[in-house]
Amino acid sequence: MITASRATDLPQAPATIADEQIGLNGVIAVRLTRSVGSMPALYAVLVIVGGWMVLAAWGPLHRLDPYPFRFLLFLDNVVQLVLCLVILVGQRVLGVAADHRAVQTYENAEAIFEQVVDLQGHLDRHDRALSRGVSLLEWSPHPWIERHRVQPPPQAIDQAVTVNGRIAARLTQRLGTMGAFYLAAGTQVAWIVLAAAHVQRFDPYPFAFMSFLSTLAQLIFMIVIMVGQDVLGRAADRRSEQTFLDAKAILHECRRMKARLTTQDRILASLTSYVAVQVTEHLARAIHDDYSAIRESGAAAASAAGRVPAGAASLGPWDELPEEFRESNRAQARQIGEKLAVIGCLMVPAFDPTLDFAFDDSELQLLARLEHERWMAERTAQGFEPGPARHGRVRPDLVPWERLSDEAQAMNIQAVRRIPDMLTRVGFQVLRNGTA
C-alpha cells in the first residue's frame, strides 16, 4: 500500500502579488503601482503636460509659467522622483512575490518527488511479486531529485553576491517602501509650503534647488532600479533553470514508470490469460458434471425402456467428450460472469465459505432464459435446426423460451439453481453487489 507523504499537501492557491498586500501600506503600494503603471495614467500625463504648455505659451498661464516652463519643469522633477520611488516599491513587491513563488514551486516539486519515489517503491514491490523476487527493471532516482533536496529555492537576495550588489539590494529594501514614498512626497510638499509662506527663503519659486536635488535623486534611483532589475533577472534565470530541471526529472520518472507499468502489463496479461483459461476449463468440467447429473435419471429411464437416451453422446467422461461438446461447455462457462452481472451479482474467488447464496424465482427464470438463448444462438450458428424429434442436427428444443416444454424449462432452471454450488467446487462464490 502506498504510504502518505509528509509533503503531499499542496497549497490551495498559487502565490500572487496580491498576497503581498499586507497592511494598509501594502495595499496602497500595490494599488498605486497598478494605477500609475497603466496606459490611462500615461494618457492623463500627456494631456496635462500638453495642456499646461499650450496655456502657458498662449493662454492664462503665460504670466505664471512662461517658456521654458520652469514651474512645469519643477513639477515634472517632483513627479519623476515620486515615480522612481513607486517603481522601487513595485520592484520590491515583485521581488518578494517572486521569492514566495520560488519557495512554493520548490515545495511542490519536492512533494511530487516524494510521491515519485514512493510510487517507484510500490512498483518495485509489484515487480518482485510478479517476477518471483527479481525486479523487472532496475530503478534509481534521477540525479536532480537528490540535488533538489539539498539545494534551497533561489531567492533574489542570493544573487547580490558582490559588494555593489549587496549595497543595491539594501538600497532597494530601504527605498522601496511606502515610508520612503511618504517621506519624499511630504518633504517636497513641505518645502513648497514653507517657500510660499516665506519661512524658507533659500529656494523661492520656481524652487531651483529642489529641482536640482530631485534630478540628482532620480539619477541615483534609476541606477538602483537598473541594478535591481539585473538582480531580479538573474534570480528569475535561476528559478527558470530549477523549474526546467524539476520538469526534466519528473518527465524522466514518468517515462520510467510507464516503462515499468508496460512491462507489468505484459506479465499481468499473460497471467490473466493463463488464469482465465484454467478457470474456464474447471468451470466447463463442473458444468458438464452438473449436466450429466441432471440428465442421469432421464438417461437411465430411457435405457430401461430400450430407447437411446437423448444427448447420450454428451454424457460421457470429460476426456472422452467430442471437442464440440467440450467447447460448448467452455462457452457457457465464459458467460457465467456476464449473466450474473445482469441480476447484480459477481463471481469472485471464494473468501468466506460462511456466506450463503441462493437465487430467487425471478432470477432463476431470467438466468435460465438467458442460458437457453445463448444455447440457441450457439446451435443455430453451428447449423442446427428445430424439429419435432432429436436426430442429426435437428433439436426439438431449438425454439424460443415461451414455446419450450415445461420439462426443458425445468431442466434449465435446475441447472441455474446449481450454479452457486458448482462455483464453490472450483474455488469461487457468488456475491450480490454491495455485499461486505
The total number of residues written for the chain in this structure: 436
pLDDT digits (tens, 9 = 90+) for 128-185: 766 654 444 555 666 766 666 656 666 655 655 566 666 766 776 666 677 777 787 7
pLDDT of residue 168: 67
Task: Quote the CA–CA distance of 177 and 89 in Å, as a whole number.
Answer: 5
Nearest to 375 by CA among 342, 409, 398, 394: 398
Are the C-beta atoms of residues 205 and 195 closer than 8 Å to each other? yes
- Give the residue from 169, 181, 206, 175 showing the smallest Cα distance to 191: 206
Query: Residues near 245 by Cβ (< 8 Å), separated by ≥ 6?
Result: 144, 148
CA distance 367 to 197: 106
CA separation for the pair 51, 37 (Å, rounded):
21
pTM: 0.47
CATH number of 335-432: 1.10.490.160
pLDDT in tens, 21-60: 556 666 776 677 777 777 887 788 889 888 888 888 888 8
List, in order, residues 6 or more apart from 242 with CB less than 8 Å away.
102, 105, 106, 148, 151, 153, 154
Beta bridge partners of 347: 430
Cα separation values, 399 from 223, 232, 339, Å: 98, 85, 20
Determine the Cα–Cα distance for residues 360 and 297; give it in Å rounded to an integer: 25
| Domain regions of the chain by residue span | 17-276, 335-432
Q: What confidence category does residue 366 fall into, taking pLDDT thresholds of 50, 70 and 90?
A: very high
What pLDDT, on the 0 to 100 scale, is given for residue 5? 41
User: What CA–CA distance (Å, rounded) separates 247 from 255?
Assistant: 12
Give CA–CA dist 70/76, Å, rounded: 10
